[in-house]
Amino acid sequence: MKHLYLIRHANAYPAMPGENDFDRELSEFGTREAPKMAEKLRDLEVKPDLIISSSAKRAVTTARIFAEYLDYPKNKIHVEETLYASSLERLIELTKELNNQNSTVLFFGHNPEFSIYAQYLTGDLTIALFPCGICGIKLDCDDWQMVSRDLGKCILLEYPS
């Protein structure tokens, strides 16, 4: 059994004129909500074997906050450039590239791609990830290569309050 957690970055400040979207930082609300959401995973005893984050500043910052709460070494976070402005096809490919020694993997990234991927994996078209939302998916397989449409079951859907 494999577990994939799709976590949208925490709330970020809007891009200022002339500022690159990639460099947006977490807002004050985002820096307060991320630890609370990370605590929810910790309380559920989620222990990631691997954390992969989009290279965007707001996603990496969110991943580091979660890593701290989940006792995952921050220097082991894999920063994946293709998670920024990604696609469903790239998310599937990235998942299939995972080493099977990793049973629980956390992806940190963006919408609309993460909501679309959660819908693809679970068949639940109502899933929509808001900032710092978490979708935990249990995949009925022992090999990441087998990931396909409707293979997963949503076991966790959490949003900041």
CATH number at residue 63: 3.40.50.1240
List, in sequence order, every beta strand (DSSP E) within 62-148.
78-80, 104-109, 134-139
d(CA 67, CA 125): 29
Residue 28 carries which side chain, given as an amino acid letter? E
Question: Mapping DSSP to helix (H, G, I), strand (E, B) and coil, where does residue 33 land?
Answer: helix
Spatial neighbors of 69 by CB under 8 A, at least 6 apart, are 35, 38, 39, 41, 42
Domain of residue 86, residue span: 2-158
Structural domain tally of the chain?
A: 1
Residue 128 carries which side chain, given as an amino acid letter? A
**pLDDT value, residue 18:** 84
**Which tokens in the block code for residue 21?**
């979207």
Q: Peptide bond preceding 160: is omega within 30 degrees of 0, i.e. cis?
A: no
Which tens digit of pLDDT belongs to each residue from 15-53?
Answer: 888 889 999 999 999 999 999 999 999 999 999 999 999
Which tens digit of pLDDT belongs to each residue from 49-96?
Answer: 999 999 999 999 999 999 999 999 999 999 999 999 999 999 999 999
**Helices 28-43, 57-69: inter-axial angle, 10-degree rounding:** 40
CA distances 99 to 5, 54, 67, Å, are 16, 18, 20
What is the average per-residue pLDDT within 141-161? 96
